[in-house]
Amino acid sequence: MSDEKKTVLSMRHINKTFPGVKALSDAQLTLREGEIHALMGENGAGKSTLGNVIMGNSQYKVDRGSIFFEDEDITSARTDERAQKGLFLSFQSPIEIPGVSISQFIRTAMETKEKIRLKTFRDKLKTVTKTLGINEQWINRELNVGFSGGERKKIEMLQLLMLNPKLAILDETDSGLDVDAVKTVSRGIQTFQQDDQKSLLIITHNSKILEYLHIDYVHILINGKIIKTGDASLIKIINEQGYEPLITGQGE
């Protein structure tokens, strides 16, 4: 029964204000083991803020409310502490580190958790690149060379499968991904999810990627408020009619 599933993440009454903007207003969310949740909403709704609040990025300290990860209060934990506990947030903005290759970057990220032998790392990287359909040579590319939106998504999926967190938060870039990138992302997510103890929060304002996945719950965020939580049928409504029907049906 679903009641017996372990709660992985619980956000309670989260409020976050920026000068002139209430980015999150009493946001509540509970995510259990093995579940995929989608957080949807228009631009500026507060989606990325919610992701950043969960990760504890420095500009996103909450004004009020608490966040629990596996029953532990992480509201004041540092980002690296949260990562060590098994949280992962994909990078929405370009990462540019001169002189560092993609593979070095990923290895460094992995080693913040535990030392990993080069051979073990290389073997794992080989398996993961193969799964994702990524050219093995490509990962030696420097992180300071301009990456396209689609390429960035590939790096994220590489990181996801290499770091193998308990809960991954994937914040979609607003730029439309090409078919190739959408395939890499869905392949990455499906592989990650084969382990039924892994959970995902997919943040998106367009739902292309959601069509390829089995989504357990959909949360609709409007003006910093989660106005509705439902099953995957909400995706269809948004695809066909936009957010308007959900806003007007809010008080029912």
Residues contributing to the site for Mg ion (CB under 5 A): 47-48
Which amino acid is located at 250 in the chain?
Q
Q: How far is the CB of 176 from ligand ADP (least distance, A)?
A: 15
Q: How far is the CB of 205 from ligand ADP (least distance, A)?
A: 7
Residue with nearest beta carbon to Mg ion:
48
In angstroms, the Cα distances linking 91 to 1, 159, 195 are 34, 10, 23
Q: How far is the CB of 89 from Mg ion (least distance, A)?
A: 12
Rounded CA separation 219/225 (Å)? 10
3-state SS, residue 125: helix
Q: How far is the CB of 39 from ligand ADP (least distance, A)?
A: 9
Nearer to Mg ion, 47 or 154 (CB): 47
Which amino acid is located at 44 in the chain?
G
Please name the residues in contact with 110: beta carbons below 8 A apart, sequence gap of 6 or more.
Answer: 116, 121, 162, 163
Nearer to ligand ADP, 19 or 99 (CB): 19
With CB cut-offs between 5 and 8 Å by kind, which of Mg ion, ligand ADP, none does residue 93 bind?
none
Nearer to ligand ADP, 11 or 45 (CB): 45
With CB cut-offs between 5 and 8 Å by kind, which of ligand ADP, Mg ion, none does residue 188 bind?
none
With CB cut-offs between 5 and 8 Å by kind, which of ligand ADP, Mg ion, none does residue 86 bind?
none
Nearer to Mg ion, 51 or 102 (CB): 51
With CB cut-offs between 5 and 8 Å by kind, which of Mg ion, ligand ADP, none does residue 132 bind?
none
Rounded CA separation 158/107 (Å)? 11
Q: Burial letters for 173-185: b for 16+ Cβ neighbours within 10 Å, e otherwise?
A: beeebeeebbebb
Q: How far is the CB of 96 from Mg ion (least distance, A)?
A: 20
Which residue ranges make up the site for ligand ADP (CB under 6 A)?
A: 18, 21, 23, 41, 43-49, 59
Residue with tokens 């460094």: 108
Nearer to ligand ADP, 44 or 242 (CB): 44
Bridge partner list, 21: 18
- Nearest-5° Cα angle at 55, 224 to 188: 100
Give the strand pairing for 87-89 and 167-171.
Answer: parallel
Q: How far is the CB of 45 from ligand ADP (least distance, A)?
A: 4
